[in-house]
């Protein structure tokens, strides 16, 4: 019922910045939280950040705290991930996800590639 489309990935040098966007469409009224996950080659998918739709509370994995910021625009049904001071270990496909209950993410986008060089 909900479709997610990510954008904003690309190639950036170490220390650079990128802003990812995820637009939700369809029946979004039951979505309680949205978030970002990432998956590097030959690795399991990893939680990055999430934001609750109701009160905008946020959660981050330790490795990105202080560098990444998740935010949302209610009117546009869009979430963002501002990524600063990027490191090579941030290289991955980044996926947008939506949750109906605020903790289990069952709706996924197709991903956008982030590559941090050197």
Cross-strand partners of 78:
23, 73
| pLDDT score recorded for residue 29 | 84
| pLDDT score recorded for residue 16 | 98
Q: Are the beta carbons of 102 and 95 closer than 8 angstroms?
A: no
Sign of CA dihedral 27, 94, 111, 113: positive
Terminal-residue alpha carbon distance, the chain: 40
Q: Mean pLDDT by 10-residue block, N- to C-terminus, for the chain (118 residues)?
A: 95 98 91 96 96 94 98 95 98 97 92 96
Q: Are the beta carbons of 51 and 70 closer than 8 angstroms?
A: yes
């Amino acid at each position: 019922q909900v479709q997610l489309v990510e954008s904003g990935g690309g190639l950036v040098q170490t220390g650079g910045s990128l802003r990812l966007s995820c637009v939700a469409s369809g029946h979004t009224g039951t979505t309680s939280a949205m978030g970002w996950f990432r998956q590097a080659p030959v690795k399991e998918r990893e939680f990055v950040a999430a934001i609750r739709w109701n009160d905008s509370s946020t959660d981050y994995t330790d490795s990105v705290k202080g560098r990444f910021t998740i935010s949302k625009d209610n009117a546009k049904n869009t979430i963002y991930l501002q990524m600063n001071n990027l490191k090579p270990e941030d290289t991955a496909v980044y996926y947008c996800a939506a949750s109906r209950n605020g903790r289990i993410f069952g709706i996924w986008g197709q991903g956008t590639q982030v590559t941090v060089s050197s």
